[in-house]
Structure 1
Amino acid sequence: MEFIYYFGNVFEPVSFALLLVGTIGGLILGATPGLSPTMAVALLIPFTFHLEATQGLILLGAAYTSTVAGGAVSAILLKIPGAPANIATTLDGHTMARKGQGAKALQLSFLASAVGGIFGVLLLIFLTPVLAQWALAFGPSHLFWLAILGVTVIGSLDSRSVVKGLLSGCIGLWLATIGFDDIMGAQRFIFHPALGGGINIIAALIGLFAIPQVLTMFAKGRTDNSAEVIEVEKHSIVDAFRELFKRTRALTIGTITGSIVGLIPGVGGQIAGLVAYDQSKKFSPESDKFGTGHSEGVIAAESANNAMVGPSLVPLLTLSIPGSPTAAVLLGGLLIHGIFPGSDLFDNHPDVAWTFINSMLIGQVLMCLFGLYVAGLAARVAKVPQSVMAAVVLGLAVFGSYSVQSSMGDVYVMAALGIMMYFLERYGFSAAPLVLGLILGPIAEANFIQGSMIANATDGLGQYFFAGTLNFVLIAIVILSIGYSAYMELRTRRYITKEEVMNL
């Protein structure tokens, strides 16, 4: 219970002021398309040079926590995920906003984020030593099968067709191969200089989600603005609390999934949100409502992507292994102040470590309070006419794509992918599986190549990739996931066929 001794340090005037600044600034940065949590934390690193180590980490930790949650704002209102972790939130959140339920969706997202985030930080506090050893158990073969599991999730993310969902994922996997091979250095599909460094995930994210929406708005032409305006329904915070705890199944699945995925080094919140969304859909008796503006989808996705924040720091603080790209930036913040994370961090610098962790716990509560305050105001964005919204979204898309690397090449890639996705959507394909394939491709490829090298030097590919309890469990889950997706697809088709026969 050592962390309680340092709890009061968070409420020192300078530390608490930095916590407030980091939380509010993180919400704003998170809601800005193109500014991921990693980039937000990196931008704040220079401001910590003249601060004490504890104060600097409080600022960075608050920004990390609130940026992940803030990404839901643009995901719900504009259908542009503020960060890869908010991809799953767009699937139901934006549909709710188009129905005038933007305030409700935002309130649920911040409440779910707070519950998941608090649970994740509590895991970080009480189970750090145990979880650190468990995280070390994941080698290249296990991470490869975990990526394959993510690929099998792809099929059920597209509610209309498992086959089209898998094909979308395959397109994403192909896009992930563009650029230079990380192992051999070979060029792959580089038919334009802008593709030399591969496809930037933020540019791809903006293009695949924002541009089809813009093109659809422009395709409608100039219409009567009054017909475009959506009436925003008022939704009280009390009702949001009732709705959240009425959906305890989605909240539990999202929180547990996010905590487990966050602990595994190199996986990330984007996979946590999508896997949690998929599992909530499979276990829900109202699975047919997912994708149509169902609150369970928002709750599962947002509780998962914030629940992974705490566990993602476990390998960093105890083993000096960053569990996510943002954790790697936080490692830089520690090293700048001459603090080396590891097994003796809590012995040599307990004031720094525990104050930082406590600030993240309090930061989750502050993030929720500020988020709930602005939810009703932000939801009014839905009342903006589509003709105006299209121009605003296009401007944000160009700004967000360019700001990642200050490169017009990313803007070209964003536009090309967006136009491609516009035509694919007209034939029933979905952007979410494609993005998931793009994210999982490098993880699967890198770990397969590393595993192959180890296998060739030891007992061979079969023994390395298929033996062992953890490999067996992951393979079994992959098979079950594929089987369940196929079963649900066949059952849905039979139900539709019976309905058609009855209507004849």
Structure 2
Amino acid sequence: MEFIQYFGDVFVPFNFMLLMLGTVGGLILGATPGLSPTMAVALLIPFTFRLEPAQGLILLGAAYTSTVAGGAVSAILLKIPGAPANIATTLDGHTMAKKGQGARALQLSFLASAVGGIFGVFLLIFLTPVLAQWALAFGPSHLFWLAILGVTVIGSLDGGSVVKGLLAGCIGLWLSTIGFDDIMGAQRFIFHDSLAGGINVIPALIGLFAIPQVITMFAKGRSRLDAEVLEVERHPIGDAIREVFGRMRALSIGTITGSIIGLIPGVGGQIAGLVAYDQAKKTSPERDKFGTGHPEGVIAAESANNAMVGPSLVPLLTLSIPGSPTAAVLLGGLLIHGIFPGSDLFDNHPQVAWTFINSMLIGQVLMCIFGLYVAGLAARVAQVPNEVMAAVVLALAVFGSYSVQTSMGDVYVMAALGTGMYFLERFGFSAAPLVLGLILGPIAEANFIQGSMIANATSSVSQYFFTGALNLTLIAIVVLSVGYSVLMELRARRVVTTKDEAVAKEEALS
């Protein structure tokens, strides 16, 4: 195996030092709201100018993998996803933290991330040629249906009601249309200068999750929140390891889902965790526990987030097609050193390619070790007084929103969306479906327009979008996903009705 031949290069002292620096730095950057994996890698590019190509890629690759995992820290402890990939982690992780189980949730997230990440890198090592050809099969019509499939996940993300989940998702889809149309250049819903460039996902993410919390904290004054705890439960690492591998169904679903979604160019890993969470919930015999602090929700989401990292680099390294925004930044890192990825990369520059891939494999292990070490310390955030926590979260929200484009307009958008979300939560709506709609809207719109243009030049629109084995398979999955969500909603209502009737009969008899 050629990758074994270059495995030792990772442990050259300077290379290993870069790997550790990238891993620790990535965890810190990932835990900072607003600093996404793409931004973290972009910030480190200038530091690679004077490094050898393999050394520069080691630093960037370590930052990429650990930033994705580090985003779980703020998602669990503060309910502010470090990146869109960590949205699903907040659904159960933050609830666990409020119960005093923050250390346990962090341990599960880092262990699941390591398992998913290692699996994803092994796919990159052994199946790159096959996966590259499979990734090429996805055209605009397939990517459109994938985005629609993501939209169907929206209904089941809101634990209270499928209808409310879909309504929140529709609001997100509308928000994604604000700005200039990418194809025609037409203005849409630009009623303030801050909206001219559209709504950036990161400020929206911070506002929708952080600001409702801040308002609630300030409304409570100096009194503690009802759900706040005084003591943080200790959780041995050995118990966390046994729990992760004891919940193999959630771990497998997250790892496989993340690997598949990461491979598809243009979709990105930001929906991998949400789709994996949805599938784990639908197939779980304990689906009612999801959203109430269920460990399987954290395991499925975080294993998917890191499992997508390796496969997302397959199109980049073999076809010169960045599969995600972060992969596009990594492409820039390669081009700076005069290396052009493609089919001959492994022939012309095997030392660079295999050292980079091997460093990502070792980086997953280091990320897990460092993450587990700080989990217990980080979990003590739950003990911070309410008024201090509110001020810190607000400061992080403003800093994270401003740092994306160094624009106060993003801060205004963040504050406006967060305030609106605060009132929506009072009526039982959730932020996760809204953010998913905001993310998927541009993907669905762009691929539908591209597909329509291709169809008008070659065939009819209906034929282009509704024929072909892959299109029909995706459509069938969409229909099944919607039907299953509705069926589970009706079943849950029947159970509640039956219980209410039983209670009423007992009261009548007594």
Q: Is the 8 A contact 2:217 2:225 kept in 1?
A: no
- What is the SS of the residue equivalent to 2:497? helix
Alpha-carbon distance between aligned partners in 2 of 1:122 and 1:367, rounded to the nearest angstrom: 17
Q: 1:20 to 1:96 in 2, by over 3 A?
A: same
Residue correspondence of structure 1 range 23-422 to structure 2 within 5 A: 23-223=23-223, 228-422=228-422
Letter in 1 for 2:443: I
Alpha-carbon distance between aligned partners in 1 of 2:24 and 2:220, rounded to the nearest angstrom: 37
Alpha-carbon distance between aligned partners in 2 of 1:490 and 1:289, rounded to the nearest angstrom: 17
Alpha-carbon distance between aligned partners in 2 of 1:429 and 1:202, rounded to the nearest angstrom: 20
Indicate the larger mover: 261-270 or 31-40.
Answer: 261-270
- Shift in Å at residue 245 of structure 1? 1.0
Q: Is the 8 A contact 1:31 1:67 kept in 2?
A: yes
Letter in 2 for 1:23: T
1:442 paired residue number: 442
Q: Is the 8 A contact 1:151 1:169 kept in 2?
A: yes
Q: Is the 8 A contact 2:98 2:227 kept in 1?
A: no
- Shift in Å at residue 222 of structure 1? 2.4
Q: 1:34 to 1:259 in 2, by over 3 A?
A: same
Alignment of 1:425 onto 2:425: yes
Alpha-carbon distance between aligned partners in 2 of 1:403 and 1:315, rounded to the nearest angstrom: 30
Alpha-carbon distance between aligned partners in 2 of 1:376 and 1:226, rounded to the nearest angstrom: 23
Alpha-carbon distance between aligned partners in 1 of 2:224 and 2:327, rounded to the nearest angstrom: 48
Q: Is the 8 A contact 1:156 1:165 kept in 2?
A: yes
Letter in 2 for 1:99: K
Q: Is the 8 A contact 1:140 1:447 kept in 2?
A: yes
Letter in 2 for 1:309: V
Structure 1 length as normaliser, TM-score? 0.99
- What is the SS of the residue equivalent to 1:267? coil
2:507 paired residue number: none
Alpha-carbon distance between aligned partners in 1 of 2:383 and 2:82, rounded to the nearest angstrom: 20
Alpha-carbon distance between aligned partners in 1 of 2:461 and 2:229, rounded to the nearest angstrom: 59
Q: Is the 8 A contact 1:152 1:482 kept in 2?
A: yes
Alpha-carbon distance between aligned partners in 1 of 2:228 and 2:264, rounded to the nearest angstrom: 45
CA RMSD of aligned residues (A): 1.0
Runs of 5+ in structure 2 lacking a partner? 505-510
Q: 1:421 to 1:225 in 2, by over 3 A?
A: closer
Q: Is the 8 A contact 2:99 2:228 kept in 1?
A: no
Deviations along 1:410-437, one digit per CA (max 9) or x if unpaired, are 0000000000000000001110000000
- What is the SS of the residue equivalent to 1:298? helix
Deviations along 1:61-119, one digit per CA (max 9) or x if unpaired, are 00000000000000000000001100000000000000000000000000000000000
Aligned length: 504
Alpha-carbon distance between aligned partners in 2 of 1:157 and 1:470, rounded to the nearest angstrom: 26
Alpha-carbon distance between aligned partners in 1 of 2:351 and 2:336, rounded to the nearest angstrom: 17
Q: Is the 8 A contact 1:99 1:230 kept in 2?
A: no
Letter in 1 for 2:155: G
Q: Is the 8 A contact 1:228 1:385 kept in 2?
A: no
Q: Is the 8 A contact 1:225 1:385 kept in 2?
A: no
- Shift in Å at residue 226 of structure 1? 11
- Shift in Å at residue 404 of structure 1? 0.6
Alpha-carbon distance between aligned partners in 2 of 1:301 and 1:264, rounded to the nearest angstrom: 18
Alpha-carbon distance between aligned partners in 2 of 1:439 and 1:226, rounded to the nearest angstrom: 33
Deviations along 1:44-63, one digit per CA (max 9) or x if unpaired, are 00000000000000000000
Q: Is the 8 A contact 2:205 2:435 kept in 1?
A: yes
- Shift in Å at residue 219 of structure 1? 1.4
1:490 paired residue number: 490
- Shift in Å at residue 225 of structure 1? 9.1
Query: Which runs of 4 or more aligned residues in structure 1 lie more than 2 Å from their structure 2 counterparts after TM superposition?
Result: 224-230
Q: Is the 8 A contact 2:99 2:227 kept in 1?
A: no
Work out the percentage of aligned pairs sharing the same amino acid. Answer: 85
Letter in 2 for 1:157: L
2:475 paired residue number: 475
Deviations along 1:420-456, one digit per CA (max 9) or x if unpaired, are 0000000011100000000000000000000000001
Q: Is the 8 A contact 2:9 2:15 kept in 1?
A: yes
- Shift in Å at residue 221 of structure 1? 2.2
Letter in 2 for 1:257: T
Indicate the larger mover: 218-227 or 289-298.
Answer: 218-227
